[in-house]
Amino acid sequence: MAVNGLLQKGPGGPLVLIGGAEDKDGECRILREFVRLAGGERASIVVITTATRLPGEVGEAYRRVFLRLGAGEVLPVHLDSREKAGDPCHAAFLQRATGIFFTGGDQLRISRVLGGTLSERSLKAASLGGVAIGGTSAGAAAMGEIMIAGGRGGRSPGKNTVKMAPGLGVIGGVVIDQHFAQRGRIGRLLAAVAHNPHVLGIGIDEDTAIIVTPDGRFNVLGSGTVTVVDGRTITHTNASDLHPQPMLALTGATLHVLPQGYGYDFKSQKPYSPGSSF
Amino acid sequence: MAVNGLLQKGPGGPLVLIGGAEDKDGECRILREFVRLAGGERASIVVITTATRLPGEVGEAYRRVFLRLGAGEVLPVHLDSREKAGDPCHAAFLQRATGIFFTGGDQLRISRVLGGTLSERSLKAASLGGVAIGGTSAGAAAMGEIMIAGGRGGRSPGKNTVKMAPGLGVIGGVVIDQHFAQRGRIGRLLAAVAHNPHVLGIGIDEDTAIIVTPDGRFNVLGSGTVTVVDGRTITHTNASDLHPQPMLALTGATLHVLPQGYGYDFKSQKPYSPGSSF
């Protein structure tokens, strides 16, 4: 099972994958948890702004909020070229961090700039070494081995409207979607899983996160829900057919909707709530 | 199984339930099929405009399109009060029709005006007698025994954000949602099924219809897809909990996405495509 890939390739440190639009002004439940996992007042957090077109503004906003939430130090780094991402000086920033956070923007920029570079290797080594890795929106999408790179929500699911691309592979066996309920993305997540039934589809709502723990589970945190699509039970799909029907057909998918207090165990491949597994 | 209720209470005649915004200018695949099922050039179609605030305009639009598609005669009837709906003269229109079509608007207007009246009884008698019944948007939603009366799409699914009400009960064992992908309504359909796991959730996209046939199946027709949520496999839900968690939790739901050429058999409770069942 590729979901087991998570355990082989997955994090030694925790992962905080956020569906975008997380609270930055109020209680900041999610970002506060990221700072805690990164070491709290001893945290040294690198903010990677590669995905955004406004790196100065976005990097500074996260610097301020992480400092306000008690992080020891916060350093925005704008890796905007493969040259920079391959530079040992930049990669060294990642090696010294106790937390690495990817902002939102366009996930293809993350994979195109970092993919296969020294910075990507430093990132994975940091994760295996116990460093907390976080990402919001595009920054969450890019963490999988494969990622959804595009495909409009709020329309009938087509067989070929979801665009897939390789991600950074910090976590294996999953495909992450974000802004999930808000942008009506169930169709594209189902299409992604129909094409890749060996991976678990995880759709994360805004202001909601999954906290992937080193023991191979995730817990849900935040104000929305996380939708899990398990493609192992699919009995039929036309995803790979040459048939002219352009719309998606898919039968027998298993769906879980998980709010805060619930989670998912990658080992047993089942959702759970405190005290019980389903 | 309440899904069997479909067969006990369900139509003797065909049902055409449309997710709204069906093609009225081009090929008109769906409305053309309704006219055919109503008898084609021998069809006498009553258009019930109760749901809409623009009964004159909407009724005239459907009159024109049904005539253009070859219907023998088309009569818009605006039942805007329980008094009218209880009037034997109005109910008699329904008894003479070979097809009865409900326009879109607000499904609560349909159930509040027609519920329990002579016109509702005439409608059900007509359906049992083989008359084709159609409805688009609110007109489709109101055909179930229970219906979704409200609940915003495009947001994280809450336990209690879906509003349910009794429908006209032309078809039992199902809850119908419409404008499904376009308005991001998977969350509210899942919440409806979590509260009513004995009914089958059917989400119909725009310009898409299910054609329910007297042998207890439906076929999908149109340019989008139909999403079926089977709640029988649900292993856990917090829908009825007194727990303060406001968001929906639901695990183990079974999901089918069906485009034109696919369908669902209420007897075997399985989806199918031509030549195979899944």
**Which tens digit of pLDDT belongs to each residue from B21-47?**
999 999 999 999 999 999 999 999 999
Q: Which of A70, A154, A138, A153 is nearest to A103 (CA)?
A: A138
Residues from chain B contacting residue A183 (CB–CB below 8 Å) = 154, 184
pLDDT of residue B1: 29
Which residues, 6+ apart, have CB-to-CB distance to B94 below 8 Å? B46, B100, B119, B122, B123, B126
Residue A226 has pLDDT above 80, yes or no: yes
Residues B107 and B138 sit within 8 Å (Cβ to Cβ)? yes
Residues from chain A contacting residue B278 (CB–CB below 8 Å) = 235-236, 251-252
pLDDT, one tens digit per residue, over A28-62 is: 999 999 999 999 999 999 999 999 999 999 999 99
Alpha carbon B65 to its chain centroid, in Å, reads 20
Residues from chain B contacting residue A156 (CB–CB below 8 Å) = 181-182, 205-206, 208, 223-225, 259
**CA–CA separation, A102 vs A143, rounded Å?**
9
Does residue B222 belong to the interface with chain A, where contact is any CB pair within 8 Å? no
| Residue with the two structure tokens 């925005």 | A76
- A236 catalytic, yes or no? no
pLDDT of residue A160: 87
pLDDT, one tens digit per residue, over B45-97 is: 999 999 999 999 999 999 999 999 999 999 999 999 999 999 999 988 899 99
**B27: burial class by Cβ within 10 Å (0-12, 13-18, 19+)?**
exposed
Q: Go through B157-172 and write b for each residue having 16 or more CB atoms within 10 A of its CB, e for each that does not.
A: bbbebbebbebbbbbb
Joined tokens for residue B250: 């639901």
Does residue A190 belong to the interface with chain B, where contact is any CB pair within 8 Å? yes
pLDDT, one tens digit per residue, over A77-130 is: 999 999 999 999 998 889 999 999 999 999 999 999 999 999 999 999 999 999
**CA–CA separation, B41 vs B64, rounded Å?**
14
Q: Do A182 and B261 touch (CB under 8 A)?
A: no
C-alpha distances in Å from residue B117, one per residue of A84, B12, B111, B165, B233: 74, 21, 10, 17, 37
Averaged pLDDT for residues A176-189: 97
DSSP A233: G
**Which chain B residue has the Cα nearest residue A261?**
B245
| Residue with the two structure tokens 């195109």 | A112
Domain boundaries A15-262, CATH class: alpha beta
Does residue A264 belong to the interface with chain B, where contact is any CB pair within 8 Å? no
Residue A203 has pLDDT above 80, yes or no: yes
Does residue B78 belong to the interface with chain A, where contact is any CB pair within 8 Å? no
Q: Is the dihedral of CA B180, B184, B185, B187 positive or negative?
A: positive
Q: Do A247 and B223 touch (CB under 8 A)?
A: yes
pLDDT of residue A241: 77
**CA–CA separation, A5 vs A219, rounded Å?**
19
**CA–CA separation, A71 vs B234, rounded Å?**
42
**B2: burial class by Cβ within 10 Å (0-12, 13-18, 19+)?**
middle
Catalytic choice (A179, A223, A256, A277):
A179
Give the pLDDT band (50/70/90) at residue A7. Answer: very low
- A120 catalytic, yes or no? no
DSSP B158: B
Q: Do A182 and B155 touch (CB under 8 A)?
A: yes
pLDDT of residue A10: 52
Does residue A269 belong to the interface with chain B, where contact is any CB pair within 8 Å? no
Q: What is the DSSP string of B53-83?
A: S-HHHHHHHHHHHHHHTT-SEEEEE---SHH
Helix (H, G, I), strand (E, B) or coil at B145: coil
Averaged pLDDT for residues B159-168: 93
Rounded to the nearest angstrom, the minimum Cα separation between A134 and chain B is: 22
pLDDT of residue B160: 87
First and final C-alpha spacing in chain A: 20
Helix (H, G, I), strand (E, B) or coil at B186: helix
**CA–CA separation, A19 vs A182, rounded Å?**
10
Higher pLDDT, A173 or A10: A173
Q: Do B254 and A255 touch (CB under 8 A)?
A: yes
Residues A217 and A196 sit within 8 Å (Cβ to Cβ)? no
Averaged pLDDT for residues B130-135: 97
Residues A210 and A218 sit within 8 Å (Cβ to Cβ)? yes
pLDDT, one tens digit per residue, over A234-271 is: 999 999 877 778 999 999 999 999 999 999 999 999 99
Q: Do A271 and B248 touch (CB under 8 A)?
A: no
Mean pLDDT of all residues belonging to chain A: 93
| Residue with the two structure tokens 């049902």 | B15
Joined tokens for residue B228: 């079926």
Joined tokens for residue A82: 């493969």
- A137 catalytic, yes or no? yes
Rounded to the nearest angstrom, the minimum Cα separation between B224 and chain A is: 5
Residues A35 and A14 sit within 8 Å (Cβ to Cβ)? no
C-alpha distances in Å from residue B272, one per residue of A74, A237, A249, A265: 55, 11, 10, 32
Q: Do B183 and A187 touch (CB under 8 A)?
A: no
Reported ipTM: 0.92
Return the domain boundaries, chain B: 15-262
Q: Which of A89, A41, A83, A95 is nearest to A66 (CA)?
A: A41
Q: Which of B23, B8, B135, B105 is nearest to B68 (CA)?
A: B23
Averaged pLDDT for residues B131-146: 97
Joined tokens for residue B82: 């329980």
Which of B204, B250, B272, B276 is the best substitution to test chain A (most A C-beta atoms within 10 A)? B250
Mean pLDDT of all residues belonging to chain B: 93
Residues B67 and B246 sit within 8 Å (Cβ to Cβ)? no
pTM of the model: 0.94
Residue A1 has pLDDT above 50, yes or no: no
Q: Which of B173, B269, B274, B261 is nearest to B217 (CA)?
A: B269
Which residues, 6+ apart, have CB-to-CB distance to B89 below 8 Å? none
Catalytic choice (A119, A137, A145, A195):
A137
Give the pLDDT band (50/70/90) at residue A277. Answer: confident
Which of B179, B183, B257 is the best substitution to test chain A (most A C-beta atoms within 10 A)? B257
* Alpha helices, H only, B167-258: 186-195
Residue A8 has pLDDT above 90, yes or no: no
Which of A247, A252, A276 is facing B224, going by the closest CB pair?
A: A247
Residues A165 and A108 sit within 8 Å (Cβ to Cβ)? yes
Which of B225, B228, B230, B270 is the best substitution to test chain A (most A C-beta atoms within 10 A)? B225
**Rg of chain B's alpha carbons, rounded to an integer?**
18
Which residues, 6+ apart, have CB-to-CB distance to B258 below 8 Å? A249, A251, B220, B225, B226, B227, B228, B264, B271
Which residues, 6+ apart, have CB-to-CB distance to B43 below 8 Å? B35, B66, B70, B71, B72, B73, B98, B99
